[in-house]
């Protein structure tokens, strides 16, 4: 149950950080979709480890193999299975925590829930699991491209350094121009310097990824429990290290009066538009045709390179050594993950919308 996501466009992921492989089964992808494998690989490359000095130095090519659901380059309508094999796992790096609970990790909660845990890199709780989501999200993007829907995510904050510009003031084509994936070059340099200094201090730092979905038609979403923004929120909060989600005006909206916050409608060449977009493209849980934008907050990575006090499975006081290869800040690699999860939600709701009318 906890390893599946979606309704009609549904995925099921499997695998562990230090297991033989990770993968995803995609069910509900319409038949006849051209599966661009080069595009899928490019999306995985954006997420893979070892990209730069501000990411973990684990080396994984993250090359994938499609083992079902595609024939002669097109989806067949049957489940698509994609597998990504692990190549550079160093399980011995984790032998020192075989019976210890790392602070702010899932070690204790997994042990409590299951009575057993894979301590090698966190097993199923590792962020490496997201490689399967990005593969599935790439297929969703290929599907949504035919509907004119596009996705952009970028780093808008690292620690105290915040990009105080609305996404409409930025050139989103420049997101991939630097290793941080921040479209403002000057701010990107400052953020990269902060992350690198944090790494040298053997510590970690958090940040925010901003997501933008454009071209979404009006009418996607359900009006009560399955509101579109609720599902996007669930998707984002399911990503490792995420501690917060807001869309539209978010928490800043409380500073405005209703007269300032309301988005007035007008007609533009027979298209319904709004003069402002504090709603974030969603009203009553249903898309209104305007851009959907949101922020996702990522905590500082729990694994730090200094010793910490904790307990072991017997309840004894122990010291957890700072060892292994880890990201000093996850936001640069989280960008494609945020896009992938957003794409999975929109693909799912686009298919659901086709069942709402005769």
The pLDDT tens digits for 64-84 are 999 999 999 999 999 999 999
Percent of the chain with pLDDT over 90: 80
Residue 46 marked in a binding site = no
Please state, in angstroms and as integers, the Cα–Cα distance from residue 136 to each residue in 10, 190, 347, following that order.
9, 33, 11
Q: How far apart are CA 300 and CA 180, in angstroms?
A: 16
DSSP state of 277: -
Beta carbons within 8 Å of 5's beta carbon, 6+ residues apart = 11, 235, 238, 344
Residue 333 marked in a binding site = no
Q: How far apart are CA 280 and CA 185, in angstroms?
A: 26
Residue 270 marked in a binding site = no
Residue 302 marked in a binding site = yes
Give the pLDDT of residue 49: 80
Tell how many helices (H) and how many strands (E) occur in the chain: 7, 18
Q: How far apart are CA 13 and CA 154, in angstroms?
A: 25
Residue 301 marked in a binding site = yes
Is pLDDT of 92 > 60?
Answer: no
Beta carbons within 8 Å of 352's beta carbon, 6+ residues apart = 7, 8, 220, 222
Q: What is the pLDDT of residues 194-219, one digit of tens each?
A: 999 999 999 999 999 999 999 999 99
Is pLDDT of 119 > 80?
Answer: yes
Is pLDDT of 94 > 70?
Answer: no
Give me the sign of the Cα torsion angle 178, 182, 183, 184.
negative
Under CATH, domain 4-354 is a member of which superfamily?
Answer: Chorismate synthase AroC (3.60.150.10)
Residue 353 marked in a binding site = no
List the chain domain ranges: 4-354
CB atoms inside a 10 Å sphere around CB 27: 17
Q: How far apart are CA 34 and CA 36, in angstroms?
A: 6
For residues 201 and 281, the answer to whether their CB atoms sit within 8 Å is no
Residue 216 marked in a binding site = no
Please state, in angstroms and as integers, the Cα–Cα distance from residue 9 to each residue in 28, 54, 62, 147, 346, following that order.
5, 34, 24, 15, 9
Residue 103 marked in a binding site = no
Residue 30 marked in a binding site = no
For every residue of 67-98, which 3-state class applies, written as one string? EECEECCEECCCCEEEEEECCCCCHHHHHHHC
Residue 126 marked in a binding site = yes
DSSP state of 170: S
Residue 165 marked in a binding site = no
- 135-148 mean pLDDT: 98
Give the pLDDT of residue 52: 77
Mean pLDDT of the chain: 93
Residue 334 marked in a binding site = no
Residue 300 marked in a binding site = yes
- 138-164 mean pLDDT: 98
Give the pLDDT of residue 95: 74
Residue 53 marked in a binding site = yes
Supply φ then ψ for residue 291, to 5 degrees. -60, 140
- 240-266 mean pLDDT: 97
């Amino acid at each position: 149950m906890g390893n599946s996501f979606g309704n009609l466009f549904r995925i099921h992921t499997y695998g562990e950080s230090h297991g033989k492989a990770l993968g995803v089964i995609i069910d509900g992808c319409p038949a006849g979709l051209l599966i661009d494998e080069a595009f899928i690989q490019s999306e995985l490359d954006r997420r893979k480890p070892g990209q730069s000095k501000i990411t973990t130095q684990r080396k994984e090519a993250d090359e994938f193999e499609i083992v079902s659901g595609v024939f002669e380059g097109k989806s067949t309508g049957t489940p698509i299975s994609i597998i990504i094999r692990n190549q550079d796992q160093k399980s011995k790096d984790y032998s020192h925590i075989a019976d210890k609970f790392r602070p702010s990790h899932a070690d204790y909660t997994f042990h409590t829930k299951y009575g057993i845990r894979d301590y090698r890199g966190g097993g199923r709780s590792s962020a490496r699991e997201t490689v399967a989501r990005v593969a599935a999200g790439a297929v969703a993007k290929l599907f949504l491209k035919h509907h004119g829907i596009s996705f952009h995510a970028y780093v808008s904050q690292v620690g105290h350094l915040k990009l105080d510009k609305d996404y409409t003031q930025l050139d989103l084509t420049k997101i991939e121009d630097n290793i941080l994936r921040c479209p403002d070059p000057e701010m990107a340099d400052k953020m990269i310097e902060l992350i690198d200094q944090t790494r040298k201090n053997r510590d970690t730092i958090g940040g925010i990824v901003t997501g933008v979905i454009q071209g979404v038609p009006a009418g996607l979403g359900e009006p009560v429990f399955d509101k579109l923004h609720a599902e996007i929120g669930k998707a984002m909060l399911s990503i490792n290290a995420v501690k917060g989600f807001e869309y539209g005006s978010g928490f800043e909206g409380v500073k405005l009066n209703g007269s300032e916050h309301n988005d007035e409608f007008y007609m533009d060449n027979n298209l319904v538009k709004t003069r402002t977009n504090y709603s974030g493209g969603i009203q009553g849980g249903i898309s209104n045709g305007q851009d959907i934008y949101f922020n996702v907050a990522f905590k500082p990575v729990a694994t730090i390179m200094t010793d910490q006090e904790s307990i072991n499975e017997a309840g004894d006081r122990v010291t957890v050594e700072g060892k292994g290869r880890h990201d000093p800040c996850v936001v640069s690699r989280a960008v494609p993950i945020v896009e992938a999860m957003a794409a999975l939600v929109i693909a799912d709701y686009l298919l659901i919308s086709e069942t709402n009318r005769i």
